[in-house]
Structure 1
């Protein structure tokens, strides 16, 4: 018989005020849902993570619990709001969850990074095995070594891309040259201009990819300059001198990956389009990826050069076994993402699994979601 339990997990302080809700801050807790089969008394917990998505109701939890493991969906302190998200604090949240599961008596923990959780899970495992990070990219202290992160026994990249900064840059619209005027566009770098495609030529794609990185780096340089400039805005308040340490800003054009329209690029079984509908509309739609951020969050979460949650970089440092699962019809995590993550693992305790016909969320195909759960449950043994 399956049962569900809400887990209150003590939250490790992050050192800065980056959560709007006073209720959430003062509770000192993050939350997770645990599903298990009470007739089996599982000794292994499978923990599914993402930086900001609410995985308390994750579609795989019941299916995994039915296969004999305890299945846990985590909500980090940034659940539902990634505008001020600091990836290093998400590591603290995963560490707190794994510690809590150990204290509950689970002998083994398998860490599953789903979707945008892939880069985060890889970074967590690398830092738990060998902690090196002492500060965020903005320079704020974060003592991962002193926190005592507990490594997972195995990790899974499930329908995952390598990290938010990587996939964000792959979708960053290089036709935008003025950050305040998204519709004043450089036609030579506009994937939505019919003169360029689809299909897109090799020379165009090469220029396009370099221009995407250049735009990311321009925003990064600007954000770093603004953080430094804020130190000069000192005012006296309640008898002490204070200065703002962060600012929000808007980024337009974040769903402009040529693969969304040209199926010959990174070929797979996917349909043209994005997770948020038409690429042109999704490119500007607030609900799509990373339009509102803060200076410090940009460096930690979206910066191509500074964000550490990059599975391509973290996985070579991971000693634990690694499974990479991808769907052949996924329009968000592409086959090249999966293969490159698999190849990044530096040992032979690894496995690459393709689920034929599966899109990012297994829409209309619960049978394929069950196949993923079969693989994860078997891998967890």
Structure 2
């Protein structure tokens, strides 16, 4: 059985969602797939900052195995240009509180893909809140929020956070933010001058240049926010474009962070995905950049927050995943400071297990068996 859930949402003090209908509804939405054989007292909640998980591939398989499963859509569904990670934390908290009020005794939080950093951030702040504002100094204050902790945390084909991923992926050959065609040929992995396998000294220089570019954008964002503050008007934010956001050398050279993956990206050839409008992080507001994309200022550092959780943790990764590489999984697994943790590869698993029903079944079986071992499947 499938049910649409309307979950009360804590409103923001600024307009960061374009749709007036969405803002006035005062709700976020989720899809509940219920186990039909025996009523479940446990619920699995799948989260992502912006993707629509109401149709997630794992919902029905978990319900078929006796675990009610909920796919959440945050207030930023399909549009992360003004996304604030701290508001996503509020949305996850609202969903867990809603499920507990419905009578679920156990709630298991599953972060998939970009939901990995969010899930870690949420559980960390639910157990021991420390964040009093966004990096721009705005609400919410998570130390004053009602954030019920989950009973366990799962990371599924996940990465540690959007700021780290963008920094790993951002194109350091872009030297003029207003002109994507002005490029540093010494760092251009698409020019044909530099070919894989890339030597270690090139990778080191490339990575340093990626960090430098992220920090240049952050410095520019701070300057623009200072100008807005000095103007003393009602306008508090501005949009901007980021060119070249899918240029991780791992997309081109599969010997780096080796796995079973094919060269390229989930969005097609790397050079195309790097510039196409529909791929990662091309549009942002100033305040959103600090919250989700700034490598130095974002609060969403998945490894840091995984180190702060006390609940059981299961980390699963696909060995053929073109998006979340094996090192992302081991980074989050190694960060967990207690021993009740497990790392499970999904052999030949793609990022969303598209066209791989046997892999979906393996993931669902693994998750349910692990929950039963921990008395979390009721």
Q: TM-score, normalised by structure 2?
A: 0.97
Matched, 1:5 2:3: yes
Residues of 2 paired with 1:376 and 1:48: CA distance? 12
Distance 2:129 2:157 in 1: 26
**Contact 2:257–2:325 (CA under 8 A) maintained in structure 1:** yes
State how far apart, in whole Å, the 2-side matches of 1:155 and 1:359 are. 21
Q: 1:366 aligns with which of 354, 357, 364?
A: 357
- Distance between the aligned counterparts of 2:165 and 2:266, measured in 1? 13
For the 8 Å contact 2:114–2:161, the answer to whether it is kept is yes
Q: Deviations over 1:136-161 (max 9, x none)?
A: 00000212222220000000010101
- Find the counterpart in structure 2 of residue 59 from structure 1: 57
Q: Residues 1-381 of structure 1: matches in 2 within 5 Å? A: 3-234=1-232, 242-381=233-372
Please name the residue that 2:376 is paired with: none
Q: Is the 8 A contact 2:134 2:299 kept in 1?
A: no
Superposed displacement of residue 311, structure 1: 1.1
- Give 1:16 shift: 1.6
The C-alpha deviation readout for 1:223-280, integer Å capped at 9, x for no partner, is 011111112334xxxxxxx421000000000010000010110110000001110111
Q: Deviations over 1:34-91 (max 9, x none)?
A: 0012331101100000000000111110001001111000000000100000000000
Q: Could you give the per-residue CA deviations for residues 187-210 of structure 1, whole angstroms, max 9, x where no partner exists? A: 111111322211111100000001
SS in structure 1 at match of 2:130? coil
* Equivalent-residue separation in structure 2 for 1:162 and 1:252 (angstroms): 22
CA contact (8 A) 1:86 1:300 kept: yes
Distance 1:4 1:24 in 2: 22
The number of residue pairs the alignment matches comes to 372
Counterpart secondary structure, 1:89 = helix
Kept in 1, the 8 Å contact 2:151–2:311? The answer is yes
- 1:237 maps to none
Are the equivalent residues in 2 in contact too, given 1:44–1:380 (CA < 8 A)? no
Q: Tell whether the 8 Å contact from 1:330 to 1:359 is kept in structure 2 after alignment.
A: yes
Please list the CA deviations of residues 288-335 of structure 1 after superposition, one character each: whole Å capped at 9, or x if unmatched. Answer: 001000000000011111112221111111111111000000010001
Once residues 262 and 29 of structure 2 are traced to their aligned partners in structure 1, the CA distance between those partners, rounded to angstroms, is: 35
TM-score (normalizing by structure 1): 0.96
